[in-house]
Amino acid sequence: MQELGIIMNGVTGRMGTNQHLIRSIVALREEGGVELPSGERVMPDPLLVGRNERKLRELSEEHGIDRWTVDPDLETCLDGDDEVYFDSQITPRRPDSVMKAIDAGKHVYCEKPLASDLSAALDVAGMAEESDVKHGIVQDKLWLPGLLKLQRLIEQDFFGDILSVRVEFGYWVFTGHGQEAQRPSWNYRAEDGGGIVDDMFSHWSYVLENLFGEVESVRCLQKTHIDERIDEDGEPYEATADDAAYAIMELEDDIVAQLNSSWTVRVNRDDLLEIQVDGTEGSAVAGLRDCKTQGHANTPKPEWNPDTPKEHDFYEDWTGVPNNRVFENAFKLQWEKFVRHVVADEPFPWDFTAGARGVQLTEASYRSSEEGRRVVLDDLSV
């Protein structure tokens, strides 16, 4: 058994606490560490870093973690023997912190987006590439059970030629008037790195790229539908960030993707996220955990006639994809892969260059909305 020191900066936030600390690092520690190909095991040894002493102390005590420090500027924690730096701070703070860690010789793993703008993302990715450190970006959606089932269908050539992809994501986030909001207020302030394009389009970039092909162009309309919300202290504030975005993207191999992302929509679908893929030989609809298919042989032949009542139940024409395996937490799975990458040099293609492409798509989508036109994404050179 060997230990791997991991500096975890920003784990007092919702995502950092729940997904990265509790369901990933704490879970791996409870399982006895990460198993390497050799059969040896690596035990993550976290050092919690943040700005809120009370939250850090409570997290440490609750989860049996010995090490924590209030060191938001990383003045001392990078001087120790910990080999890995992890960052899940709000986006504007990320580039400087990650570059400090790279300069200190730490392997780096961080939440997306890599930076608030493409120039900064390329600076971070370029510095990482030029150094000897290993680097990775969180791309958790790739290990969701529904998307793993979708990947299985693609590998089995179920679809034939893929024609189009449709992504429907979102739910109603309460404004705080009458009912508390279920997302933090900074999500709705552009000056703090908020906005659904900033939050979700980095996800769509790697999901589309890994399953279907790189994004070549984008048309996007981003909107702030609700301009006032209530913050955590019960005070009203101006919502300056986009809370919905509607996009059409062209992928390689002539695939078209339509994506609706909204925090101002009420759900009338099977899940908070649905991805429909249509091909010449079949179609599939994947959610967070489930996936259903309709092959060419069992595709109905409807005819348009609005003058007669609908008698056919189109939902009955779909068949569920079986699990055929046990699915674990997506964040935990990628953490295991990064630990093996650091310690055993296993491949890890989800690096900062991939993270920069996510920022590129975000920036292009904003530009498309502002200028009212289609924007082509150039090849990135890091």
Over residues 316-338, the mean pLDDT reads 96
Comma-separated ranges of CATH 3.40.50.720 domains in the chain:
2-141+330-350
How does the average pLDDT of the chain come out, rounded?
A: 96
Comma-separated ranges of CATH 3.30.360.10 domains in the chain:
143-325+360-375
Pick the CATH number of 143-325+360-375 from 3.40.50.150, 3.40.50.1980, 3.40.50.300, 3.30.360.10: 3.30.360.10
Q: State both tokens at 237.
A: 């504030």
Q: What is the pLDDT of residue 290?
A: 98
pLDDT tens track for 265-279: 999 999 999 999 999
Transcribe 302-331 into DSSP letters. Answer: ----TTS-----GGGG-EEPP--S----HH
Class of domain 2-141+330-350: alpha beta
- 108 strand-pairing partners: 85, 135
Q: What is the pLDDT of residue 25?
A: 98
- pTM for the model stands at 0.93
Spell out the residues 6+ positions from residue 272 whose beta carbon is closer than 8 angstroms to its own: 169, 170, 171, 287, 288
Q: What is the pLDDT of residue 137?
A: 98
pLDDT tens track for 146-188: 999 999 999 999 999 999 999 999 999 999 999 999 999 999 9
Over residues 99-113, the mean pLDDT reads 97
User: Strand 84-87 vs strand 41-50: parallel, antiparallel, or unpaired?
Assistant: unpaired
Q: What is the pLDDT of residue 13?
A: 87
Is the pLDDT reported for residue 382 higher than 80? no
Is the pLDDT reported for residue 381 higher than 80? no
Q: Which of 122, 230, 205, 213 is nearest to 163 (CA)?
A: 213
